[in-house]
Structure 1
């Protein structure tokens, strides 16, 4: 009995001990779980992941850089504007006509033209030198003083020639105003050279300086005024001039519509009509100008077209290499497609740049619309070339490559039975059944590609691609407009004058409506940028500047090679053709030949980023860069 009581006592003690251990274990686990919950509920700066911290630091760095550039640019522009305002004489009016027999002066100002009698003893001063009425010319800027009889008693006239220095010596100075013309002015020992309100020596002038020349009645320089300038100040000046032009205001208005969630949809039919008009109008005007070219100019234009084609093809390959190097999260098939977009050009950006140049009276070569058509093709070929290489390297049916997430093996049908079924379905001419059969559009696309490996179907596929590349609707309308404008102009101005009222005069108004729709489309694409990541966003904003500058340098090298100076507008348009990206031709090729690629990523970068950047900031920057290169290294 005693033994039983001892055993029972031991069992009870053991249960108590195990209960104590269990309770201690529960307490410790509760403490640990509470600690974990507490840590999750109270995050700190130190709990940021490395990726989040990198993104935060990158955003702060980019904002700081833009702020620094903005402050420096605004300060530089302030000095630039202040100097021009202080050194520039603001004339009251300009001479519209001059009657020296019975002295009368017709002057024009903001209120219109008016005729004023000149007093017999009137004093005339031309560029700070005494002169006579006969020394005055139409277009001279004048300010006048009147007596009680409303007759002119004093005329202070100013006749200037402004431009950029090409060459100079102690006896003369040669300048250009549009980088294609040349004007030489004689210097004398009494010529005054001024910069910033202070007198300087002739040796202080360098090639590329912006100057204004005041000459006497014999055409000799009385005073030479040098203006300080910098590329940052010129960028801000160009941006300021373009910021409130109707073209950009319509784009901004369209951009605001989706952001403000305004219930407005631009009718697709009207958009198509605007696109047709703009393409035909560009071609018409370019064809008219081509008809006036000589044989030598046409030969130069064709060589430049070939250079543009090769340039955009190479830029597309470079874009792919950059994406593979710096945007490693992007699939190779998507990188190839985005590169194809950036190896082509943008008709919308081109027509916007044309509108800006025309509004600023900046001339450009008439054959540039032909380059728009020629330089759209390389991007399509780049995409087809890169994707064909990826397929040979084992791309699967969903576009994944080896070592990429979700890779399922080379793109072929899973079994001989499925291949036979695909042939059977395709043999009945019912390709729509392929998706039903395999349950996945990507597998269906692969099945179709296998079926089309039969020679007749493969040839048909190639013919379809080539037709889409070289005979897509945009290229056809553009080339058609060029041919019609060329043939019509050869018959004389009277044949084209009436049609010019539609194709030329209305161009700016139609372009404003087009940019309204493009602003809406660009804003809608912003939501797709969430899928892009910071790398593609940086690519879409930085690469246009690099490619456009490359285009400017290539155009300038060609200008040196042919010993022919190009107009500033030609550089700007070629920069836009290199620095823009397609949103019409390449997407059509993608739907036919690259169904595995993402349809949203390329358009988000092309429309949401690059197009918006180019039309608002890019074009003024490209103009300033081209001007700086032309002044620093002029073609003489």
Structure 2
């Protein structure tokens, strides 16, 4: 592995703010980001990424690569929760296995945003249609996870069932999904002159907001880490090994879809990341028996830090190697 890539990533100011958040928790500091501010920054990051992706898409000629990329992303969102569910069932209940499988089949928009920042740091280009791939992968894994729960659950009481229509509606109208798809379309429709008019908002301040958001993520991760460790080694190992397997496999086979190094890295991140926003929101409604203190820390306190520190340089090394 090229050590300078690892060093560049680990010394990225935005990432160092993430570590600062974890340190603040360990020192029992009162440092915090107000909840309303944190939510605004989350929406801003998704809006900015979606808008810029739409602009990139508007300047791209439609090709079979775009179509195959969308289909490949959709397939990943189906396959990952299917195979991980049966691994998870060795240790966890049907509800917990289904919720965790859905989380690892879905994607982390924040990890995706961080990966884009990493690509820009390394001056590696990527295509705007990758934003659409990410948006497409949010909902299918949630549905697969819930269908697995329904299929394998025995003696389910009728009153406990949640209509699938409600689940699908929630998955498709989840705020993170809606803002990024909506921004993608708006960016696609906007002219270059119109996009230039809001560039200071969508581009110039992006890295600053990302740093503040990762500080907030560090604080949140630090609070959940201690409780998660008490739950045993299986969840910890799963939260690292499964992303490495998914990311490494996709890093290898994505060359069939595209020659773009940037696109291939974003594919690996989509495969390796886990959702801690959309999936928990959906599971709260559809699978209340699933334990959020298990699947949220796995995705947020273990997989997320691993991917943005060691994961991205590792996957990029595999891409270059192959």
Cα 1:580–1:495 shift into 2, 3 Å = same
Note the alpha carbon deviations across 1:391-439, whole angstroms, 9 max, x for none: 2xx1xxxxxxxxxxxxxxx333xxxxxxxxxxxxxxxxxxxxxxxxxxx
Query: Are 2:152 and 1:383 equivalent residues in the alignment?
Result: no
Superposed CA RMSD in Å reads: 1.5
Name the CA distance, whole Å, in 1 between partners of 2:156 and 2:226: 31
> Higher strand share goes to which structure?
1
Query: Are 2:30 and 1:268 equivalent residues in the alignment?
Result: no
Name the CA distance, whole Å, in 2 between partners of 1:484 and 1:263: 39
Name the CA distance, whole Å, in 2 between partners of 1:239 and 1:333: 37
Query: Are 2:158 and 1:465 equivalent residues in the alignment?
Result: no
Checking the alignment, whether the CA contact within 8 Å between 1:357 and 1:569 is kept in structure 2 is yes
Deviation at 1:556, TM superposition (A): 1.2
2:305 to 612, 621, 624: 612
Name the CA distance, whole Å, in 1 between partners of 2:230 and 2:91: 11
1:307 to 32, 53, 72: 72
Deviation at 1:385, TM superposition (A): 1.2
Give the corresponding residue for 2:156.
411
Name the CA distance, whole Å, in 1 between partners of 2:156 and 2:148: 16
Deviation at 1:366, TM superposition (A): 1.7
Give the corresponding residue for 1:570.
263
Name the CA distance, whole Å, in 1 between partners of 2:58 and 2:156: 51
Deviation at 1:627, TM superposition (A): 0.9
Name the CA distance, whole Å, in 1 between partners of 2:99 and 2:195: 42
Deviation at 1:311, TM superposition (A): 1.6
SS at match of 1:570: helix
> Higher helix share goes to which structure?
2
Corresponding pairs, count: 322
Q: Please, what TM-score do these two structures have when normalized by structure 2?
A: 0.95
1:215-294 superposed matches below 5 A: 232=1, 234=2, 236-294=3-61
1:316 to 81, 98, 104: 81
Note the alpha carbon deviations across 1:22-61, whole angstroms, 9 max, x for none: xxxxxxxxxxxxxxxxxxxxxxxxxxxxxxxxxxxxxxxx
1:474 to 176, 185, 189: 176
Name the CA distance, whole Å, in 1 between partners of 2:230 and 2:279: 20
Name the CA distance, whole Å, in 2 between partners of 1:337 and 1:593: 10
Deviation at 1:332, TM superposition (A): 2.9
Give the corresponding residue for 2:284.
591
Deviation at 1:531, TM superposition (A): 4.2
Name the CA distance, whole Å, in 2 between partners of 1:253 and 1:317: 36
Checking the alignment, whether the CA contact within 8 Å between 1:238 and 1:621 is kept in structure 2 is no
Checking the alignment, whether the CA contact within 8 Å between 1:242 and 1:248 is kept in structure 2 is yes
Note the alpha carbon deviations across 1:282-329, whole angstroms, 9 max, x for none: 11101111111123x3x42122111111122101111112223xxx33
Name the CA distance, whole Å, in 2 between partners of 1:237 and 1:529: 32
SS at match of 2:59: coil
Unaligned runs of 5+ in 2: none
1:300-449 superposed matches below 5 A: 300-324=65-89, 328-391=90-153, 394=154, 410-412=155-157, 447=159, 449=161
Give the corresponding residue for 1:501.
200
Query: Are 2:188 and 1:486 equivalent residues in the alignment?
Result: yes
Note the alpha carbon deviations across 1:176-214, whole angstroms, 9 max, x for none: xxxxxxxxxxxxxxxxxxxxxxxxxxxxxxxxxxxxxxx
1:188-207 superposed matches below 5 A: none
Deviation at 1:558, TM superposition (A): 2.4
Deviation at 1:499, TM superposition (A): 0.9
Cα 1:549–1:448 shift into 2, 3 Å = closer
Query: Are 2:259 and 1:557 equivalent residues in the alignment?
Result: no
1:9-28 superposed matches below 5 A: none
SS at match of 1:510: helix
SS at match of 2:204: coil
Checking the alignment, whether the CA contact within 8 Å between 2:250 and 2:267 is kept in structure 1 is yes
Deviation at 1:356, TM superposition (A): 0.9
Deviation at 1:448, TM superposition (A): 5.0
Unaligned runs of 5+ in 1: 1-231, 395-409, 413-445, 450-457, 560-565, 630-636
Give the corresponding residue for 1:88.
none
